[in-house]
Amino acid sequence: MSKELAKTYDPKGIEDRLYKKWMDNGYFHAKVNPDKKPFTIVMPPPNVTGQLHMGHALDETMQDILIRFKRMEGYEALWQPGTDHAAIATEVKVTEKLKKEGIDKNAIGREEFLKYAWEWKEEYGGKIINQLKKLGASADWERERFTMDEGCSRAVQEVFIKLYEKGYIYKGSRIINWCPVCQTSISDAEVEHEDQDGFFWHINYPIVGEEGRFVEIATTRPETLLGDTAVAVNPEDERYKDLVGKMLELPLTGRQIPVIADEYVDKEFGTGCVKITPAHDPNDFEVGRRHNLQEINILNDDATINELGGKYAGMDRYEARKAMVEDLDKLGLLVKVVPHNHSVGTHDRCGTTVEPMIKPQWFVKMDEMAKAAIKALDDGDLEFVPARFDKTYLHWLENIRDWCISRQLWWGHRIPAYYCDDCKETVVAREMPKICPKCGGTHFHQDEDTLDTWFSSALWPFSTLGWPEKTPELEYFYPTDVLVTGYDIIFFWVIRMVFSALEQTGKAPFHHVLIHGLVRDSQGRKMSKSLGNGIDPLEVIDKYGADALRLTLITGNAPGNDMRFYWERVESSRNFANKIWNASRFIMMNLEGKTVTEPEDLNGLCAEDKWILSKLNTVIKDVTENMDKYELGIAVQKVYDFLWDELCDWYIEIAKVRLWKAQEDPKAAGEALWTLRTALTQGLKLLHPFMPFITEEIYCTLLPEEESIMISDWPVYKDEWNFPEAELAVESFKEVVKGIRNTRNSMNVPQNRKTHLYIVGKDEKICQMYEKSSRSFINLAYASQIHVQDNKDGIGEDAVSVVVSNAVVYLPLEDLIDREKEIERLTKEQDRLTKEIARCDGMLSNPNFVNKAPADKVDAEKAKLAKYKEMKEKVITQLEQLKK
């Protein structure tokens, strides 16, 4: 064998080299191949601004495991990669960069700004892709896409126009999330809710014409009072029935507003009277529409009070709040201020408190498309793994509001809507119209807004395959097979992909959605910048290798469940890699210069060889089933246990006996070597999707004629490898060895002390079974000789017995210990325990100690006394046995 493994496993020395080999050979590239079944995963596109974090690492590792598994199973496996333009995040970064260079975004204008944005994307946009490659991601990089590339942009425009023409897209005034700092509408996905300490301000609204009578409301945002257009009570609330229809003086405004009845009001909460501000609260907006209330927006885009705010106009929202509360107090209308901790929406990019605000925006009607997405789940076209996430999906779809898709940004897909300068007619088209269809005017300007980032990523499963063109890729690879994603974006992204795909292609975009949890720190906290507890996956890779990180992330992983990251677990994964490496070196060293062929008759193999083949066969079957059910954590644990426990800790040790005696029995040694090589190569294949680098290096060194483990065949279950009798034989002997080890440990027998071993089987068949395997287990059992018999003849009375399920094992006492030395040791121990008992007795019979010492100290001494007495009894019994 010309090649050999390095003495020590060094991931740094192999990972980049092997990744380059895979790339150079085009192993990741998938083609339309009618002779193969397709298997497709679309990579959730990381933000072009992004940097690899643990969530990404888990997400990408899971996808890579599935794609490598299916590739080896013989599928034409496409893992479609790409990045998302990340509208707000990118615009913020480019704006900050320009600011540092003394350039004002607004001064240079849209076109110039976009040139800088594209330059930034070209320079920094590939960073996360290179980081994914460090992880070993075997995506088809030849097909890498970007949400703003020409093809994806065309798909976005096509969908917008189709939905508009169908009446599903409209422009209207509804409540949206507004960021006063970024000055754009933002999606629910970009709003982070955090608990903040605030107050409930209780304010009296005077009832018109009823001097001294008021309605008391409570609010967390007193400044929005300026936009109130009603106060609502529950129609069933007896306290306020006489007030419905009456008018109230709205403090500080000179306006009057009605009292209305609406079931939205919870009569048990607060005072049972709720101020209604339709322009600044989503629930109030719905109430306002039901009652035809006026919608008064009292804020400018920068969250200062606008001209409708009277004396407060121009003040910042919080400055106005303070001034208004002081004025209400002076008027005697401030009843009380109560501390209140409540959930506040903030923009995840800049941390600013978001303002719900009515603004004219573009929206997508959701009713019909939501129904189609619900039906896809009901019909089984779409399945969540685990199924409990059906509820989350349905809850969001059943309560979905129309989707605000416009953003006040420059970086993104510009809305294909054009306005006639003469008559203001709106024309949605693929390019700027020449003539206005309404007035014949020839001057137009395009809508300034861009589309929500989610609008383009909603089309990702089919836009990346060439839609709206009917490409061979779309025909062959779509619908995709599985989407892997975290539970935190089911509603934001998964739902949008499902209804978009159903609407545009008539098919659900994927068959399965595999949901994973979050990677938390060792204390169970979410990793975040504010806590400073994030762990950089690249740091882990640099220290321990990508394989160790991947194994750590997937071990114990259950779909939908969060996991904790421990450095100790990464070390354990690295230790596993070392174990496999060293075992492989041992096997290769013994294979050196030898030609090993498969035995003609596997039934002629010894029980130990059959046992490991049978164990391997079972693990192949189980792991394949687990992988098909997306139980990746269970699958890898079975591979780990097989390689570490069965192959390294047992079979290699068993096989050593025949390898050492190869000259005496070359046939037996050859069978051991073939079995070792077979178990290792098949085990490596099972491990490959999880730990691609180390498995590739060992496999191609072990089998230099093989091109790559990546393109080797996935192991399959074979009936001829099923040997239940051999499994029983070896598992029985393993039980014997474990029992012997435990007994020797409890008696402190040194490892180099060999013993005679007597195995008394429960019947003749069991005795024959032990007799056949005894030679292989002689070293593992620390035995000088193994005697198998069906009775106790010739076994001394003082022999120590070990009971196993189908036999009793006896170890002659004189083999285990030096009788005189053991009597001497136990006599000393008896003396020590006698003194300890006397000391405890003395303390516990002393009234000063018992009455004055802390109770726990007295209890501790009582416990010690009981323990010493028990130990002394055992020592006396052992001494009596030895002296007999």
Q: Could you tell me which residues are annotated as the binding site?
A: 529
What's the rounded Cα separation, in Å, for the pair 736 and 740? 6
Strand 230-233, strand 255-261: pairing: parallel
User: What whole-number distance in Å separates Cα of residue 636 and Cα of residue 650?
Assistant: 19
What is the rounded (10 degree) CA torsion for 706, 708, 712, 717? 90
Amino acid letter, 550: R
Contact by Cβ (8 Å): 672, 655: yes
HSE, side-chain direction, 13 A CA sphere, residue 313: 8
d(CA 862, CA 845): 11
**Residues forming the annotated binding site for ATP?**
529
Tokens for 59?
């997400």
Distance between CA atoms of residues 596 and 866, nearest Å: 63
Angle, CA 414 vertex, CA 411 and CA 415 arms, to 5° = 145
176, 404 contact by CB (below 8 A)? yes
Residues with Cβ within 8 Å of 745's Cβ and at least 6 positions away in sequence, in order, are: none
CA 215, 221, 226, 227 torsion-angle sign: negative
Report the 10 Å Cβ neighbour count for 58.
Answer: 25
User: Parallel, antiparallel, or unpaired: how do β-strands 403-404 and 76-80 relate?
Assistant: unpaired
What single-letter DSSP state applies at residue 721? Answer: G
Q: Inter-axis angle of helices 607-628 and 54-72, to 10 degrees?
A: 120
457 with 412: CB under 8 angstroms? no
| Sequence-separated (6 or more) residues with CB below 8 Å from residue 111 | none
Contact 128, 44 (CB under 8 A): no
Between CA 443 and CA 436 the distance in angstroms is 8
Distance, CA of 408 to CA of 107 (rounded, Å): 17
Name the 3-class secondary structure at 880: helix
Report which DSSP code applies to 47: B
Mark out the alpha helices in 103-226 (DSSP H runs): 105-124, 127-135, 150-165
| Residue of 12, 16, 85 lying closest to 49 (CA atoms) | 85
Task: Give the tokens for residue 645.
Answer: 């426990």
Report the distance separating Cα 147 and Cα 91, nearest Å: 15
Q: Are 22 and 28 in contact (CB under 8 A)?
A: yes
CA distance 369 to 556: 38
Structure tokens at 548: 């160790």
Angle between the N-to-C axes of helices 495-505 and 367-378, in degrees from 0 to 180, rounded to the nearest 10: 100
